[in-house]
Amino acid sequence: MLTSLEKMIFAVALVLSLYFAAQKFMLMFRAISRGQDKLYFNPLLKRVLSAVSVLFTQKTVLKKRPLLSFFHALIAWAFIFYFLVNLGDILTGYINEFHFLGTGPLGNYYRLFTDIFSVAALLGMLVFLIRRFIIKPKELNIRDNVLLLEGSAAKIKQDSLIVGLFILAHIGFRFLGESFVLAASGGDAWQPFASGVAQLWNGMSPDAVTLAIHVCWWLALGLILAFLPYFPSSKHAHLFMGPLNFMTRPERPAPGAMERLDFEAEDAEQFGVARMEHLDKTQILDAFACIMCNRCQDVCPAYQTGKELSPSALEINKRVFLNNHLKAFAAGEETDSVMGGHFLSDSALWACTSCAACVEVCPVGNEPMMDILNMRRDKVLMESDFPKELQGAYNGMERNQNPWNMNEDRMKWAREEPGLDVKTVDENPDFDVLYWVGCAGAFETKGQRIARSFSKILNTAGVNFAVLGNKESCTGDSARRSGNEYLFSMMAEQNVELLNSVKPKKIVTTCPHCLHTIKNEYKQFGGNFEVVHHTRFIEELMDQGKLNPKKDEQKVTFHDPCYLGRHNGEYTAPRNNLSKVGQLIEMPRNAENSFCCGAGGGQMWKEEEKGTEAIRRERFKEARQTEAEIIATACPFCMTMMTDAGNELEATQQVMDVAEIIAAKL
């Protein structure tokens, strides 16, 4: 089809296009390599299969915004398929009378799929262009009180327009060219859509049709050559970077599990993240993988209640900064911009509840929460710059081993309940189950209610259990999530040493934060323990016939604690427990989509950042709409926040832990 001169021109243009695109990709990977830690590739086959699965199934995209995600999937599948289509078109241009994949069954199905995917992609792209530039839904915007690098909003729209028009034009001209081919050849039953359009060209002369085929070929493939050098800088790079992100990110024992800092390292000069180069490689890769879809801010409790935090804005700021300074950053120059205050305002930094909703929802595997938690480490450890209210919790954990800073007997909660049989490990050294009571259970009124109820359940079921009593101390969860890694490390080492000396067969805890820390993070300090949440243990006791609570028609709705659900994947046990004693009514946002209570990430010990509503009240309002008589929780932090919200809203609903509900019906 092409003349010798055209073949030579196209070949040169292709080489140049690939060269400039490769140069840009090399800069991107050099930029990523400046990060700390490493990219993970083992086991390679498992990771590759996982990345390929994400790419081809689009499962991480399809789990939210179902209709829009379907249109996105159409575009993605078409674009993947078009790698084959473009190869076939290049060969067709270079080889006369060439039919890619032949004219038999294989070629027929190839042409059918090409026809279908072309129309599907054009339809999908039109939907997205209309949505962004005509409908302009609020989900695509970022509020004015959120920090965005100068010009970022305009660049997002510009990039979206360039990428959208490119896809529309590339596939459109290819489809149009095929319709001219069919006009010349008389149609093809395996290409129904292109054959239909071909009817429009019936009156054209053969020479005009041939010229149109030629022009469309050059426009379709020429647009690719023009787009390739821009491709790495565009959000369309997520087509490759998203699967690569899934393939290379660390396998954390839980979504929010943080890495241990080595305070003894001789070359340690920086703890936490202050500048872009302090991020781990996987967190720099996050910026290149970001689709800028804003799904993370849609589920962020801070953003949804008017705070200055948008996880999406953080990733966009990282991406814009890298694009603006890619050569310098890739070359190893130290950045001038401190992330805190430049990429994220101070209020935004301390608004994160570490709920992991942004990690759960991201279709390309980004973890903006980890950036924020590591930035807090820098603020606390390097600058001693943190909300003043946290100092009280830090002092309490350091001096009295609890954030309430209570200097009391940790067994008071048990001794104040007549007839409650709770022994310490010293009194019962041959225990089967260690009940980790936690600071809330020991010192906070509502937490003590939970501890007594759960102990009553254990006694009723005949479980041989013991508690640590005054030997127990805070796990340090709040210290770690708020950036005080040094304090957390001291507490973790102390607790692991104690637990290793006690040698528990199984640990049960009524606090998901304790569960998460002991189960997932104490491994970094030599502590490998079997830890279960009390709702799971209660379910096991029921299944074994050791508990037989009464069932009635009392309506109950369940609030999923973030550290039980998204962080540790426990959704069924509390629901099974509640369904056996009452009528369970779900809130609209439940299970992995649950909305945070607002206490995590150290928020329990500080004033909530300024916004339009308190997170706890936002969640309580949703629970109240179910018209359930009881709002069930499975975390002492959640119980405190929901109870406070109910009092503030003058609500009539009771807030009770699952253990309280079960104990009351034994």
Q: What is the pLDDT of residues 360-371, one digit of tens each?
A: 999 999 999 999
Q: Pairing between strand 507-509 and 465-466? A: unpaired
Three-class secondary structure of residue 533 per DSSP: strand
Residue 268 pLDDT: 82
Residue 337 pLDDT: 82
Q: How confident is the model at residue 274 (pLDDT cuts 50, 70, 90)?
A: very high
Mean residue pLDDT of the chain comes to 96
d(CA 33, CA 37): 9
Name residues whose C-beta falls within 8 Å of residue 455's C-beta, 6 or more positions apart in sequence.
414, 417, 420, 421, 422, 435
HSE, side-chain direction, 13 A CA sphere, residue 585: 15
Tokens 């225990």 — which residue? 431
pLDDT tens digits for range 503-534 = 999 999 999 999 999 999 999 999 999 999 99
Residue 186 pLDDT: 85
Q: What single-letter DSSP state applies at residue 417? A: S
513-522 burial, b if ≥16 CB within 10 A, otherwise e?
A: bbbbbbbbbb
- Region 267-286: what's the mean pLDDT? 94
Residue 435 pLDDT: 98
Could you tell me how far CA 475 lies from the centroid of its own chain? 25
Q: How confident is the model at residue 468 (pLDDT cuts 50, 70, 90)?
A: very high
Q: How confident is the model at residue 386 (pLDDT cuts 50, 70, 90)?
A: very high
Q: How confident is the model at residue 267 (pLDDT cuts 50, 70, 90)?
A: confident
Residue 187 pLDDT: 85
